[in-house]
Every structure is written in C-alpha cells, then in structure tokens.
C-alpha cells in the first residue's frame, strides 16, 4: 500500500515504514503529525485518486530529526566592473518516518 501526499509544495510517494525528508515543519522531534493532503492511495489492485484530495484520508508520521540539505552556492557576477558576490545556502529539512496510511 502506498500514497502520494503533498507538503511544502512538493509531492511525495510514501508507504508505511519508510523515511522521507520534507521542507522544514514546526514540530518537535518525536511528535506524531498527520498529513491530510492525500492525493492518491493505492492498495494492491484498488487505486483511489482525489480531485484534488481524498476526503477523510490521512497519513500518520513521526518527526525523527531536523537536518539541513546540501550547500547551494549563489554567485553574482558582472563583467568589467569587479562586482562579485558569493553566498552559500543550506535548506532546512524535517525527516519523517511514515507510521500508517488511513483511508
């Protein structure tokens, strides 16, 4: 059984027992959350597709960790006038462990 959920403007294919990294969420480590924007649920031969979401469906997950992603380098440059700016950015992520998919 798997589901497609939306959080942070992105869509993730999840199944029970796996871990995913999503955009940073304001929850503490160890807290259980529910993701209610479920777009699709597939259970063997049955597939439920929402328009845009499935009513009453939710995915229960536990916050495992808060991590940062890889460093992205932002470099601005203008030729002939000695203008150079270099910045680095690391996006914050929340690691979730999927506990259960409820339809």
pLDDT, tens digit, for every residue of 21-52?
999 999 999 999 999 999 999 998 899 999 99
List pLDDT tens digits, range 50-102: 999 999 999 999 999 999 999 999 999 999 999 999 999 999 999 999 999 99
Give the whole-angstrom CA distance, residue 86 versus residue 101: 44
**What are the residue ranges spanned by the domains of the chain?**
2-102
Residue 34 near residue 5 (C-beta atoms within 8 A): no
Give the whole-angstrom CA distance, residue 54 versus residue 76: 44
- Label residue 103 by pLDDT band (50, 70, 90): confident
Strand partners, 48: 41
pTM for this one? 0.84
């Amino acid at each position: 059984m798997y589901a497609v959920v939306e959080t942070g403007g992105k869509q993730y294919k999840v199944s029970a027992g796996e871990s995913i990294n999503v955009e940073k969420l304001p929850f503490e480590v160890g807290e259980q959350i529910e993701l209610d924007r479920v777009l699709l649920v597939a259970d063997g031969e049955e597939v439920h597709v929402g328009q845009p979401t499935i009513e009453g469906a939710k995915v229960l997950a536990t916050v495992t960790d808060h991590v940062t992603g890889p460093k992205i380098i932002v470099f601005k440059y203008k030729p002939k006038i000695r203008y150079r700016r270099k910045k680095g950015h690391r996006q914050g992520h929340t690691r979730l462990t999927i506990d259960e998919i409820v339809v």
